[in-house]
Chain A
Amino acid sequence: MDDTWRTSAVGLVLARPPRLLGTEPFFMEFIAGIEERLAAHGRSVLLHVVAHHDAEIAAYRRWARQRLVDAVVLVNPSVDDARPAVLRDLRLPVVVAGEPTGDNPAVRRDDAGSMRAALAHLVGLGHRRVARISGPDALLHTRTRTAALLTAAAESAVDAVVVAGDYSAESGARLTTGLLDGPDPPTAIIYDNDLMAVAGLHAVTELGHRVPRDVSLIAWDDSSLCRLASPALTTMSLDVHSFGESVGESVLRLVTGESVPQRWCATETVVVRGTTGPPR
């Protein structure tokens, strides 16, 4: 057995504002999936949480200098992303979790198809005024989902508005209240993650509305939080663990010098629970 992990760790830096304490359930499940694949080969995931992309890039430079990791999993690819070029200069092999950047191998999610499925569920129930509380607008997958929603809504003659949150419970609650207190409140809201949706559900209840009678809610990233909410949240069923396993598989091929195919996660389907129904 090796004395240290200097030749057997894969790095993953999570850049998030300090007030989003800890890591949300999504990333722990995602990392567990990667670890499941790597552990069989004695490899591990080094998770490092930093406040912003500059600190993330500093971590990559440090790791390259120390030869501490032999590959990096890049998460949350974003608009004008400086990270891929830095990683290329540092000669750190990369697997992107999400939309590919440069010629790096990627494990992609069908964000457009999944968003169309979410909207189709609501349209099928009769909703014509739909809102979405998204993740940060600088993230590529946020933009992909937004474009897919607006296109599909136009095709179905549905009014759709998108407001940008930051994945925090606080933003989910605040934006939900704003939408429902505004003129022409939506009859359904789609959330880009679980934390914002659970907080949104509480906010709706506090305003004296009933779910799903007054407003329907769909969460993203099915987690324990969604299943344990009351009523349990209807969610888009990304299998986060197997997303992580696919990334782990790509990382293993990358570090052993094999060719790495682009992988896709299955298009998410709607898991109907207690928060979606026909509009009043």
Chain B
Amino acid sequence: MSSRSVVLDAIRAAGTISRVGLIRATGFTAPTISTLVRKLINEDLVVETGHAKSTGGKRRVLLQLNHASRYAVGVHLDHGVITYALTNLGGTVVARISRPGAGAQEPAVVVARIATEIAALIDGVGVERDRILGVGLVFPGPVNATRGMGGPPDVGLAPAMRQWNGFPLGAALEQVTALPVALDNDATAAASGEHWTGGFGTATSAAALYMGTGIGAGLVVNGSTYRGPSGNVGELGHVCVSADGPRCWCGARGCVEALAGPAAVVAAARSEPATARAVGFTPGVRRPSVVADFAAISRAARRGEPHALALLERSARHVGVAARTLANLMDLEVLVLTGPSLATAGSVYLPIVRHELRACFARGTHTVDVRLSRSAATASAIGAAALVLESELVPPGHGPRPPEQVPGRRVRLTESAG
């Protein structure tokens, strides 16, 4: 298992690589590489893809992952919307659909619906069942010991997801889909997906700041996603930015999510008649989710509505302060802004968060690179699919290396045939 996945990971991270390049990248002997590569080609996971540029002597055959050989399904389960992404072996999105959220429905009913929607997605792409490696399912909360959603024991999950407390989500979905299911927190998954697709570059300390319905963060340290002992890592939404601030649903005071999260911004917009009119909120008529309402505010700000823009800028300053705390604790080099709410409002938040991080403690040594994710709207579902790919492609005990970081890539570029 492990030598096979070491070779697969080296091929994936390099993009294209020769057998000689693999020997240098992995340290395995030539006969071992030859055998493993033959097996991977027989399994259809790797294909030969032409020759390296000749520098005299025998031209080398290049290998690459066969992206269309296997697929993974990522599911982001949330109150307002369930987003599905089907990716190929390389992590590229091949199909995507958003369906109505879990709402107040019974977990078992929602799980049955997820299974039929996954089946329809697979049919729609025309992939045979045996090419699907598994399902990654992510949600706004930590994974608990019974492979369900957890949260602080006295309050449990965020109000919208309370009926999921104690439901054995992983086992239930495995039973109805007959596919292996991997679970994770949605913000953590967004960070994993960012790492998998190269969004963090070669940083040793990187984070994804996730904004959907709430606020969270995922951490990638030394190339590995950090999950902590209980999956309660990166609860950025519950960083205190005002000791005397309002009470948060989690029970504490002054959490940035309570003061400045999407739900707080939407509530503020609804409570000011001029802003509500400018945004297009009609009293009594609600969009399906906080995220959709927040997107309407973002679009109003983009049109130049001053009230909408002021609300977002105020929120961004609070989020920036929380992000500075995260940067100071983690000595962050890269912070990627992601999630559906930052897909629409990212151009307002990015300059403000960037400005706030200029004041981080490490500024004498390095800056913090703040960027927008290239796939902010679907980040968690893509990250969920990446969970499945990781379990297939990455050696146990290693973190996945981002593209262009491993020696194989350099070997290929400078390789001589001599």
Contacts and interface: CB of A to CB of B under 8 A. Distances in A.
Interface of A: 1, 3-6, 9, 11, 18, 21-23, 28, 32, 35-36, 39-40, 42, 44-50, 58-59, 62-63, 66, 68-69, 224, 227-228, 241
B205 to A, nearest CB: 24
Q: Is the interface of B mostly helix, strand, loop or mixed?
A: helix
A46 B95 contact: yes
Contacts of A63: 124
Given A66-B123, A241-B299, A49 B93 contact: yes
B94 A49 contact: yes
Contact of B120 (A6, A21, A48, A227): A6
Given A4-B117, A68-B124, A22 B374 contact: yes
B125 interface: yes
A3 B176 CA distance: 14
Given A3-B116, A22-B92, A32-B344, 11 more contacts: A1-B113, A39-B100, A39-B287, A39-B292, A44-B97, A44-B99, A47-B96, A66-B124, A224-B346, A224-B372, A241-B299
A5 B120 contact: yes
B350 interface: yes
Interface in B339-368: 343-344, 346-347, 350-351
Summarize A's interface: helix, strand, loop or mixed: mixed
Contacts of B343: 28
Given A4-B117, A5-B117, A49 B375 contact: no
Interface residues of B, number: 37
A22 B292 contact: no
Contacts of B121: 46
Contacts of B377: 28, 32
B25 to A, nearest CB: 23
A245 to B, nearest CB: 10
A272 B299 CA distance: 19
Contacts of B347: 224, 227-228
A45 B99 CA distance: 9
Given A4-B117, A224-B346, A48 B94 contact: yes
Contact of A4 (B67, B116, B126, B378): B116
Contacts of B146: none
B131 to A, nearest CB: 15
A228 B100 contact: no
Contacts of B34: none
Given A49-B95, A224-B372, A62 B126 contact: yes
A1 B117 CA distance: 13
